[in-house]
Structure 1
Amino acid sequence: MKVKIESSKIVKPSYEDGEAPAHAQRVPLSVFDKVTYGEHVALIFAFRPPNPPNSEVELGLAKALAVYREWAGRIRDGRRSVLLNDAGARFVEATVDAPMAVSMPSGPSPEVRLLHPRIDGSPVELVQVQLTRFSCGSLAVGFAGHHQIADGQATANFLAAWGLATRRQPLSPLPVCDRSTRFAPRDPPLVEFPHREVEYRAPAPNKKRDIALDDEKEEIGFGVAGHDKVKVHRMHLSKDFVAQLKARASSALPPSRRGYTTFQSVVAHLWRAITAARGLAAGVTTKVRISVNGRTRMRPPVPRDYFGNVVLWAFPRSNVGELVSRPVGHAAELIYRAVAGVDNAYFRSFVDFAAEVEAEGLIPTADSEQAVLCPDLEVDAWLGINFHGLDFGGGGPFCVVPTYYPMEGSLFLVPSTLGDGSMEAYVALFHNHLEEFKRICYRIT
Structure 2
Amino acid sequence: MTVTYEACYTVKPMEPTKCGRVPLSEWDQIGTITHVPTIYFYRLSQNFHLFPNNTIASNLKDSLSRVLVPFYPLAGRLRWISNGRLELDCNAMGVQFVEAQSSSSLEDLGDFSPSSEHHYLFPKVDYTLPIHELPLVLAQLTKFKCGGISISMTISHAVADGPSALHFTREWARLARGETLEKVPFLDWKVFRAGEPPSVPLTKCHVHTEFNHPPLLLGQTNNSEERKKKTTVAILKLSKFQVETLRKTANESWNRPRNGRAYSRYESVTGHVWRSACKARGHKEEQPTAVGICVDSRSRMEPPLPKEYFGNATLDVIASSLAGDLMSKPLGYASSRIREAIERVNDEYVRSGVEFLKNQEDLSRFQDLYAVGSEKGPFYGNPNLGVVSWLTLPIYGVDFGWGKEVYMGPGTHDFDGDSLLLPGPDGDDGSLLLALCLQVVHMDAFKKHFYEDIE
State the TM-score, normalizing by the size of structure 2. 0.86
Which residue identity lines up with residue 146 of structure 1 in the other structure? S
* Residue in structure 2 matched with residue 241 of structure 1 by the alignment: 242
* Residue in structure 2 matched with residue 117 of structure 1 by the alignment: 123
Task: Supply the distance in 2 between the matched residues of 1:362 and 1:174 (Cα, whole angstroms).
Answer: 31
Shift of 1:88: 0.6
Task: Supply the distance in 1 between the matched residues of 2:432 and 2:367 (Cα, whole angstroms).
Answer: 26
Task: Supply the distance in 1 between the matched residues of 2:256 and 2:210 (Cα, whole angstroms).
Answer: 32
* Residue in structure 2 matched with residue 232 of structure 1 by the alignment: 233
Task: Supply the distance in 2 between the matched residues of 1:108 and 1:161 (Cα, whole angstroms).
Answer: 26
Q: Deviations over 1:256-308 (max 9, x none)?
A: 82221000000000000011110011101101110111100111111110111
Q: How many residues align?
A: 424
Q: Is the contact made by 1:313 and 1:342 (CA closer than 8 Å) also made in structure 2?
A: no
Q: Deviations over 1:12-31 (max 9, x none)?
A: 1112xxxx14x731111111
Relative to structure 1, the CA distance from residue 142 to residue 323 in structure 2 (aligned partners, 3 Å threshold; closer, same or farther) is same
Task: Supply the distance in 2 between the matched residues of 1:218 and 1:199 (Cα, whole angstroms).
Answer: 19
Q: Is the contact made by 2:226 and 2:382 (CA closer than 8 Å) also made in structure 1?
A: no
Matches within 5 A, 1:205-216: 216=219
Q: Does 1:173 align with 2:172?
A: no
Q: Where do 5+ consecutive residues of structure 1 fail to align?
A: 202-211
Which residue identity lines up with residue 170 of structure 2 in the other structure? A
Q: CA RMSD in A?
A: 2.7
Task: Supply the distance in 2 between the matched residues of 1:299 and 1:27 (Cα, whole angstroms).
Answer: 24
* Residue in structure 1 matched with residue 162 of structure 2 by the alignment: 152
Q: Which 10-residue stretch deviates more, 29-38 or 250-259?
A: 250-259
Task: Supply the distance in 2 between the matched residues of 1:164 and 1:107 (Cα, whole angstroms).
Answer: 27
Which residue identity lines up with residue 19 of structure 2 in the other structure? A
Matches within 5 A, 1:63-102: 63-78=66-81, 80-102=86-108
Q: Is the contact made by 1:159 and 1:387 (CA closer than 8 Å) also made in structure 2?
A: no
Relative to structure 1, the CA distance from residue 116 to residue 271 in structure 2 (aligned partners, 3 Å threshold; closer, same or farther) is same
Q: Does 1:261 align with 2:267?
A: no
Q: Is the contact made by 2:30 and 2:363 (CA closer than 8 Å) also made in structure 1?
A: no
Identity %: 32
Task: Supply the distance in 1 between the matched residues of 2:136 and 2:222 (Cα, whole angstroms).
Answer: 40
Matches within 5 A, 1:271-290: 271-290=274-293
Secondary structure of residue in 1 paired with 2:284: coil
Q: Is the contact made by 1:278 and 1:433 (CA closer than 8 Å) also made in structure 2?
A: yes
* Residue in structure 1 matched with residue 430 of structure 2 by the alignment: 421
Task: Supply the distance in 2 between the matched residues of 1:219 and 1:99 (Cα, whole angstroms).
Answer: 44
Secondary structure of residue in 1 paired with 2:307: coil
Q: Deviations over 1:208-266 (max 9, x none)?
A: xxxx979843899x9559x9621112211111110110011111445982221000000
Q: Does 1:141 align with 2:154?
A: no
Of 3, 25, 30, the match for 2:25: 30
Relative to structure 1, the CA distance from residue 106 to residue 45 in structure 2 (aligned partners, 3 Å threshold; closer, same or farther) is closer
* Residue in structure 1 matched with residue 329 of structure 2 by the alignment: 326
Question: After TM superposition, which residue ranges in structure 1, 4 or more long, deviate above 6 angstroms?
Answer: 212-215
Relative to structure 1, the CA distance from residue 188 to residue 337 in structure 2 (aligned partners, 3 Å threshold; closer, same or farther) is same
Shift of 1:363: 2.8
Q: Which 10-residue stretch deviates more, 150-159 or 80-89?
A: 80-89
Relative to structure 1, the CA distance from residue 362 to residue 27 in structure 2 (aligned partners, 3 Å threshold; closer, same or farther) is closer
Q: Is the contact made by 1:214 and 1:223 (CA closer than 8 Å) also made in structure 2?
A: no
Relative to structure 1, the CA distance from residue 320 to residue 77 in structure 2 (aligned partners, 3 Å threshold; closer, same or farther) is closer
Which residue identity lines up with residue 24 of structure 1 in the other structure? C
State the TM-score, normalizing by the size of structure 1. 0.88
* Residue in structure 1 matched with residue 5 of structure 2 by the alignment: 5
* Residue in structure 2 matched with residue 382 of structure 1 by the alignment: 390
Shift of 1:327: 0.7
Relative to structure 1, the CA distance from residue 214 to residue 330 in structure 2 (aligned partners, 3 Å threshold; closer, same or farther) is closer
Q: Deviations over 1:156-183 (max 9, x none)?
A: 110111011112222121111111x221
Shift of 1:343: 1.5
* Residue in structure 1 matched with residue 413 of structure 2 by the alignment: 405
Secondary structure of residue in 2 paired with 1:375: coil
Which residue identity lines up with residue 379 of structure 1 in the other structure? V
Task: Supply the distance in 2 between the matched residues of 1:417 and 1:133 (Cα, whole angstroms).
Answer: 22
Q: Is the contact made by 1:105 and 1:112 (CA closer than 8 Å) also made in structure 2?
A: no
Shift of 1:342: 1.7
Of 28, 42, 45, the match for 1:47: 42
* Residue in structure 1 matched with residue 251 of structure 2 by the alignment: 250
Secondary structure of residue in 1 paired with 2:368: coil
Shift of 1:77: 3.4
Shift of 1:102: 1.8
* Residue in structure 2 matched with residue 296 of structure 1 by the alignment: 299
Q: Does 1:355 align with 2:358?
A: yes
Task: Supply the distance in 1 between the matched residues of 2:104 and 2:225 (Cα, whole angstroms).
Answer: 42
* Residue in structure 2 matched with residue 205 of structure 1 by the alignment: none
Secondary structure of residue in 2 paired with 1:95: strand
* Residue in structure 1 matched with residue 51 of structure 2 by the alignment: none
* Residue in structure 1 matched with residue 320 of structure 2 by the alignment: 317
Shift of 1:188: 5.3
Task: Supply the distance in 1 between the matched residues of 2:353 and 2:163 (Cα, whole angstroms).
Answer: 20
Task: Supply the distance in 2 between the matched residues of 1:362 and 1:76 (Cα, whole angstroms).
Answer: 14
Task: Supply the distance in 1 between the matched residues of 2:222 and 2:9 (Cα, whole angstroms).
Answer: 50
Secondary structure of residue in 1 paired with 2:286: coil
Task: Supply the distance in 1 between the matched residues of 2:234 and 2:449 (Cα, whole angstroms).
Answer: 14
